[in-house]
Each structure stands twice: as C-alpha cells, then as structure tokens.
Amino acid sequence: MLEIRIHGRGGQGAVTSVELLAIAAIEEGKYAQGFPSFGPERRGAPVMAFCRIDERPIRLRSKIYNPDVVMVLDPSLLGVGNPSAGIKDGGIVIINTHKSEEEVRKEYGIKATLALVDGYKIAREELGAPITNTTMLGALFGATKALKNESMEGPLRERFGKIGERNVKAFRRACTETAIFPAKT
C-alpha cells in the first residue's frame, strides 16, 4: 500500500489533490481513498490531506502517521512544524521550493529522499496564479512513478473544465522538472 500525506494551507488545493489522486488510481483499476484533516475551516489555515493506494481493498480508516510520501504544497509549513515526521524508511519528501537540496537539508534537517520543484513558478507561468496543487501532483507522479501520468490527465481536464488543459501543462512540466535527491544517512 502506498500512503501519502499532503501538507498545505486552506485554499491551496490539498483536498482537491487527494481527490484527483484517488480518481487517477481508480482509473488504473486500483483501490484508493482520499480524505482531509483540518482545524478551523478558513483560507490559509494549515491543512493535511491523506491518500492511500493499493492493489487490494483498503480497510484502514485512520490518518496516515507513517507515510511513504509527504508532499508539501506551501514551504512555509516546514518552518512551523515537521511535515516529514514519521516518514517511512525509503520515503520521499516532495517540496514546493526554489531552494537547493543543500539549503533544504540544512534548514529543515530532512534526511529522506527529496523531490524539489518550484511549483509556484510553474503555476504562475502555466495557470497565471500561484495555486500549486496540480503542479505538485506532477512532482508526485514524477518522483514516485506510482501511477501513469495519463491517469491524471483526464481527471484534471474534467475537474478544471476550461482551464483543464493549462492544468495538464503544469502537471506535465512538474513531472519532468522535479529534481530528485537520494536520502542522506
């Protein structure tokens, strides 16, 4: 089972991300569940969202405490908590950042495999707004190869209608522009 925990802020699309991820997994004939966890429902408040993907039915109904993948939509969350807490050995931390691997490791002490992408830059260039959920899904697909890219493109077009094609472009760019750095021991 692949367990993914997404950290973002209200309004950034973390909840939409897990919904789209679950749909893409189901499109491939897999089982999936996606659900949010948040406190006061307001724009800008920290939000976590969770997704599980498996070849077999998923019976768990709890938050994900030991994820295989952590995705951080808003890099400011790295300074107010520890989004990578509990990550499994061999896990991947995917971060929306313009910083280098060295800066991220030094500043936040993350030893896990890193996947870094400037999601804000891609989103502004492709969508005209710094909304990074689609871009970061591309980073997740590029870093994990857990699902086929094509499985996400249909759900993106359907969900975003007129701007669906721009979201697909942002997704594709992030798939290829994400830099992956092996874990440090």
pLDDT on residue 159: 95
Per-residue pLDDT at 7 = 94
In this structure, is the dihedral angle defined by the CA atoms of residues 77, 160, 179 and 37, taken in order, positive or negative? positive
Domain region containing 163: 2-181
The amino acid present at 171, given as its one-letter code, is F
Q: Write the pLDDT tens digit of every residue in 110-130.
A: 999 999 999 999 999 999 999
Distance from C-alpha of 112 to C-alpha of 181, rounded to nearest angstrom = 9
Tell me how far apart the alpha carbons of residues 61 and 73 are, in angstroms, rounded to a whole number. 24
Task: Output the pLDDT for position 46.
Answer: 85
**Single-letter residue type at 136:** M
Judge whether residue 65 has pLDDT over 80: yes
Supply the pLDDT for residue 82.
Answer: 85
* Residue 61 confidence class, pLDDT cut points 50, 70, 90: confident
Mean pLDDT for the chain overall: 94
What CA–CA distances, in Å, run from 107 to 15, 112, 143?
A: 27, 14, 22
Q: For residue 11, give the CATH number of its domain.
A: 3.40.920.10
Q: Look up residue 24 and give its amino acid.
A: A
Percent of the chain residues topping a pLDDT of 70? 97
CA distance 115 to 142: 9
Rounded to whole angstroms, the Cα distance separating 175 from 165 reads 15
- pLDDT (average), residues 125-148: 95
pLDDT (average), residues 160-164: 96
Q: Would you say residue 134 has pLDDT above 80?
A: yes
Output the six-digit token pair for 176: 């290829």
The number of domains in the chain is 1
* 3-class SS of residue 177: helix
